[in-house]
Structure 1
Amino acid sequence: MTSPRPRALVRGAAAAAGLALGLALTGCSATNPIQTQAEYSASDGVRATVGDVRATNLLLVTQAQDSPGVLLGAFTNDGDQDTTLTVAFLPADAAAGDEPENPTTIALPAGGTVLLQGADAQGGSEVTVPQTPAAPGDVATVVLSTDVGGSQTLTVPVLDGRLPDYADLVPTEG
């Protein structure tokens, strides 16, 4: 005849071992930061902030250096007043103090977002560059400035407009 006492001890020991194993396995990640809590650019583009204006996923698409290109991304005005954003590129051979070329201005409504959607932008804006200052695979220097928030210079990746994902976005020469 089997007594119920040893069976209860075995069950208790198995439960304790399972609990200890579970705690040991979850403890491995207790000190690792959760990636989704840290802000990062989860795409090809870069981001920046100029005053109340946030730029997200900025990238330049062109077929070759010195060919037409288009800036893609979005600008969000987190302020409570309308603002104007100026976007301009520095030439590839720019020296310190050189002025950016071909500035484009974008009206940003308070609390609004303007999408840069490339050629044939519908419901958004288009920032074209007559001569892209860098080749695909390189970076280009862009200057963002607002009427009240100052300016910021950043480098944006230049992507190959001959790739199927970007081919329809590149402006044609002419």
Structure 2
Amino acid sequence: MSRWSLLCLAAALTACGEVVIDHAPTSNLLDAETASLETGLGVWTAWYGVTASRASTDAREGEAVLRVEVTEPYGWGVHLDNWPGFAARPGAYRASFWARGTTARSVVAQLKVSWRDSGGEELQARTLSSPVLSGQWVRTALELTAPEGTERMSVEVTGDEGSVGDVIELDALVVQASSPL
């Protein structure tokens, strides 16, 4: 592209005002890094009772996972550090995630999807619970409906069980429109 064309493009874009880049209607509402963990942790952060890290391991998809290591008894959690969450709108969605545990304990991962209004107020929340985790990857999915007034969506993953040293690995986390909105 010539320098003149770039200058014309820049002038045209600035004349349009603020640009908001939104997700394609059927794409994952989570950004690619947060969903896949291929290049970093995205916006995942330890919340309570755990350390959270990106691990290059036998991932379900790609080469990395979100590794959650339990550091305290009586429950654990990770959440997104991007309050009030990712852009969303009312409509039908499918949420899913892959998880596995690296211990022989009865650990279950619960992914909570919260639909929020423009001020960050929670309008509705739904939780997907995995089966008891083992060393094998298991996919958990649920159909959801974001209510009227939805402008943001946030996600957290928690567990009620777990002992110090238990490890949960998460991969391919998705909240995606079921059909074009």
TM bucket, shorter chain: 0.3 to 0.5
Larger relative CO (CA 8 A, sep 6+): 1 or 2?
2
Higher share of residues assigned strand: 2
Give the TM-score of the pair, scaled to structure 1.
0.39
Q: Name the larger-Rg structure.
A: 1
Using structure 2 for the length normalisation, give the TM-score. Answer: 0.37
